[in-house]
Structures are given as C-alpha cells and as structure tokens.
Structure 1
Amino acid sequence: MEEQGYIELKVTNKDNNISPKDIDINEVKAFISDVETFLYPNRREKQNRPHISYDIEEGSAKHKFFLPITAVILFNGLTSEIKNRNNLDFLDNKRQSIIDKFQKKAVKEDSIIEFNNSISQEPSLIIDYTTNFEMIAPTFYESEFYLYGEIYQEGGKNPNVHISTKKYGNLTISATKEQIMDGEKKTYKPYGIKVRGKKSFEEDSLTDLELIEFIQYKPVFNKSLLEKVIEKASVNLSKITNVDTWLDDIKTEGYERS
C-alpha cells in the first residue's frame, strides 16, 4: 500500500474566532469539491483518483484530506510554485478557477486560508484579503454548436432569432434578413440551429451567437440517412486504434462540445 499523507486548508479570520461548528455543510461540500478538482481537474483523472478521506478539525477550521503521498507531493508542488511565482499563469483553467475562488472567498469574508501538508513544515501558500492573483487562462472557447428547441421570435430591426432550449434556456442568435426570410415562417416550431459563438469554461453558457443555418427538427427515424452518415464517418473512425481512449478524450471535462 502506498504511503499516506495529508493536505490541509486552514481557515482563520482577523479575530481568530472561527471553529468547525461555524462552517456550514455547503461550505464543507465546496471545499471537498474544490480540493478534488485542484488535484484531479478532468473527468478521467477523477474517475481514476485514489481514495481520499476528509476530516474537519479544531484550531480555527482545518479542512484535512488524507490521501496517498504522491498526491500530497503534487499539491505541495503546485501551491509552492504559485507562491514562488506569485501568479497563476502556469496552471490550467480549472486550477486557476479554484485559486481564484479561494481568493474571492478571502476578500468577501476577510479570512485567511493556509495551504498546509504533511511534507512541509511551513504553509506552501497563504491566501488572504490582499491576495490578487490574476486569471490569465481563457474563460471561453469559440466553436460551432447545434441547438434544439422552439423558436419563439424572429426578425427585429437588428435581425435575430430567439430560441428556447432545455439546456441553455432562452438564447438570442444574430442572423441576416435573408436567413430569416428564407423558407417558411419558423416561429413556434421546433427547430435545430447550427450557430457559431463562445462557450464559457466555468458556467457552460453560450454568448455572441451567430446563425449559420436552420435544421428543421423531424423526430422520425430515417434508416437510410443513418446508414449514409455511418458510411461517411467510417473512413475516419477506422483509423482510431483505441475507441475507449478516444471517447474518454472527447468527454474530458472542460473540452466538451455541445
């Protein structure tokens, strides 16, 4: 069995009067989720992560995580590097977001968060109300997306289409007069829309959407069309040597396409 160690996030304030009973269960849940994501940012890593146990101790509020020593070394290395560089530019977006979340918490609650672990006698990182690490990783990516829902409005002085979707709610898509006027009136009908725009890494929201084309939604199984699509895709699919790994890569958090 691999050697075990611990990492610890100690939360104090200026009055030094925080204790475990002051910590709400939602905050505990957030700490657990944030530490897991900081150590294992994507879905595959989380699925394969080692056993981690948790405890909250006195001495202000100490959020303590017990896990293999290799994970402790990783935690110590990342937090120490943040301290030494005094920036986040070497971290991926998800890890930057976690540190940013902690510094926002410190400012909002006027608190101090010490990052400790079992292989270092001193805190590897301290975040307080004066900390101001800048997020430099992109917060969104640009791509093309397919949206499905009911179009409830189209037109306007600045031409656009309004569509109600289950996943993203109501969205506004900029369009041209020609795109809107082409074909039948689409209001109050289920449609698919191919758009280009931006998707947020943090909130999974879409912005700056522009219409590429309408795809009328016809929920009827078309075997002939399915066979043609499979035949067309099989050329590239046959080149994939490990299908399971390829699918895992597609599903990796932070890089999912709509």
Structure 2
Amino acid sequence: MEEQGYIELRVTNRDNSLSPKDIDINEIKDFISDIETFLYPNRKEKRNRPHISYDIEKGSAKHKFFLPITAVILFNGLTSEIKNRRNLDFLDYKRQSIIDKFQKKALKEGYKIEFNNSMQNHPTLVIDETTDYEMIAPTFFESEFYLYGEIYQEGGKNPNLHISTSKYGNITVSATKEQIMNGEKKTYKPYGVKVRGKKNLEDDSLSDLVLLEFIQYKPLFNQSLLDKVIDKASENLNKITDVDTWLDDIKAEGV
C-alpha cells in the first residue's frame, strides 16, 4: 500500500472566532469539491483518482484530506510554486479558477486560508483578503462540435440557422446562402449539424458557431439493427481491457 499523508486548509476569520460548528455543510461540500478538482482537474483523472478521506478539526477550522503521498507531493509543489511565482500563469484553467474562488471567498468572508500538508511544517501558500492572483488562462477553446435537435428557423439578411438542442437550448449558427438553400427545406425537422466555434471553459456555453455541414438523421429506435451491431462489435470489444478509457479517447464533442 502506498505511503499516506494529508493536506490541510486551515481557515481563520478576522477575530479568530471560527470553529468547525460555524462551517455550513454547503461550504464543506465546496471545499471538498474544490480540492478534488485542484488535484484532479479533468474527468478522466477524477475517475481514476485514489481514495481520499476527509475530516474537519478544531484550531479555527481545519479541512483535512488524507490521501496517498504522491498527491501530497503534487499539492505541495503546486501551492509552493504559486507562492514563489506570485502568479497563476503556469496552471491550467480549472486550477486557476479554484485559486480565484478561494480568493473571492477570503475577500467576502474575511477569511485567511493556509495551505498545509504533511511534508511541511509551515504553510506553502496563504490566501487572505489582500491576495490578488490574476487569472490569465484562456476562458474558452476553439474546436468542432456536433449539435443535434430541431432546426426551427433559417435564412435572414446575414444567413444563419437556429437549432433547438436538449442541453444548450436554442443555438444560432452562421451559414452561407448555399448551405441553407442546398437540398430540401430543413425547418422544423430533426437534424445534426457539424459546426466550428468556441466553448466557454467556465460554463460550457457555445459561441461564434459556423456551419460546416448538415447531418440528417432519424432518431428512431431500431432494436433489430442494434442487436446486429452489438453482435458484430462484440468480438473486438472483448479484446479491449479498459472500455471507459477507450471510449474517452475516441468520442467527439457532442451536445
């Protein structure tokens, strides 16, 4: 079994009166979620992360996480580097956003948050009301996406189409006259569209979408066809040792 250690966020307020009973369960939930994301930012890392246990102790309010020493080393390195550099520019967007969230909490609640761990006898990072690390990571990424739903409007002086999706609601996509006029009329029909545009890293919203191509489909369930596809694929699927990882590697961005 791998050597274990701990990381700790010690939270004090302006008059040093804070104790564990003053911490609301929603705030505890936020601390737990934020630390998990700081250590394991993406979905694949979260799924494969080691066991983490939690406790809250006296001494103001100490949020303590018990986990393998490799995770403690990562936490120690990241927080020490933030302190030494006095900026966040080396971190990915999600980690920057977690530190920014702690800064906002410290300012709003009058908190002082000390980042400690079992490898050091002093805080590797301190965030309080005066801390002002600027987020400089991009807030979006550009990629290609697949949208599925009903096209409810198309055309206009500046050609575009409007598609209603289950996850994002009504989405506007820029297009050309030729793309819209080619083939049958698509209004009020279920369609898929392949688009290029931007996805916001903070709220997952899409913007600046441009149509690449239409993908007509019929969302009807066909049990017989499904059974045939499963039978055909089963032989090769049985050779895959980690199906979840394989699916993550091949699937496209879709909504």
Pairwise TM-score range, normalised by the shorter structure: 0.7 to 0.9
Q: In structure 2, what residue type is equivalent to 1:212? A: L
Would you say the 8 A contact 1:6–1:66 is kept in 2? Answer: yes
Q: Distance in 2 between matches of 1:53 and 1:174?
A: 49
Shift, 1:107, TM fit: 2.4
Specify every segment of 5 or more residues in structure 2 that has no aligned partner in the other structure, as ranges: none
- 1:198 is matched with 198
Distance 1:115 1:44 in 2: 25
- Distance in 1, matches of 2:23 and 2:153, equals 47
Give me the identity figure in percent: 75
Which residue of structure 2 lines up, in the alignment, with residue 251 of structure 1? 248
Q: Which amino acid aligns with 2:248?
A: K
How many angstroms does 1:79 deviate by?
Answer: 0.4
Q: Does 1:184 align with 2:184?
A: yes
How far is 1:212 from its partner? Answer: 1.6
SS in 2 for 1:120: coil
Q: Is contact 1:160–1:176 with CA below 8 Å preserved after alignment?
A: yes
Q: How far apart, in 1, do the equivalents of 2:3 and 2:219 lie? A: 55
Kindly tell me: are residues 70 and 194 of structure 1, through their superposed partners in 2, closer, same or farther at Cα, counting changes over 3 Å?
Answer: closer
- Corresponding position of 1:172: 172
Q: Which residue in the other structure is 2:162 paired with?
A: 162
Compare 4-13 and 102-111 and name the one that shifted more: 102-111
* Residue 91 of structure 1: how far off its partner (Å): 1.9
Counterpart of 2:97? 97
Mapped contact 2:6–2:118 kept (Cα < 8 A): yes
- Determine if contact 1:152/1:162 at 8 Å carries over to the other structure: yes
Equivalent residue runs for 1:74-223 within 5 Å: 74-219=74-219
Per-residue CA deviations over 1:194-238 (Å, capped at 9, x if unaligned) read 111011233222111111222222236697xx99xx9xxxxxxx9
Does the 8 Å contact 1:142/1:197 carry over to 2? yes
| Structure 1 unmatched ranges of 5 or more | 231-237
Over aligned residue pairs, what C-alpha RMSD do you find? 2.8
* Whole-Å separation in 2 of the counterparts to 1:132 and 1:168: 33
Per-residue deviation at 1:246? Answer: 9.1
Q: Structure 2 CA distance, aligned partners of 1:112 and 1:73?
A: 23
Are the equivalent residues in 2 in contact too, given 1:250–1:256 (CA < 8 A)? no
Q: Distance in 2 between matches of 1:144 and 1:53?
A: 39
The alignment partner of 1:8 has SS state of strand
Deviations 1:158-213 (CA, angstroms, capped at 9, x unpaired): 32211111122211111223322333332222111111101123322211111122
Given the superposition, is the C-alpha separation of residues 246 and 53 from structure 1 closer, same or farther in structure 2, using an over 3 Å criterion? Answer: closer
Alpha-carbon spacing, 1:139–1:15, altered in 2? closer, same or farther (3 Å) = same
Distance 1:40 1:131, change over 3 A: same
Q: Contact 2:145–2:252 (CA<8 Å) still a contact in 1? A: no
- Report the alpha carbon displacement of residue 80 of structure 1 after superposing the two structures with TM: 0.6
One-letter code aligned to 2:169:
G
SS in 1 for 2:108: helix
Q: CA deviation at 1:249?
A: 6.9
TM superposition shift of 1:28: 1.2
Once the two structures are TM-superposed, the CA of residue 123 in structure 1 deviates from its matched residue by 0.8
1:235 aligned residue: none
Alignment size in residue pairs: 242
**Structure 2: how far apart are the matches of 1:256 and 1:58?**
47
Structure 1 206/59 Cα, relative in aligned 2: closer, same or farther at 3 Å? Answer: same
Cα distance in 2, alignment partners of residues 247 and 69 from structure 1: 26
Q: Hey, what does 1:234 align to over in structure 2? A: none
Alignment of 1:62-77 (within 5 A): 62-77=62-77
Partner of 1:16: helix, strand, or coil?
A: coil
* 1:39-77 per-position Cα deviation (integer Å, ceiling 9, x unaligned): 222333333322211111222221111122232222111
Determine helix, strand or coil for the equivalent of 1:122: coil
Query: What SS is found at the alignment partner of 2:202?
Result: coil
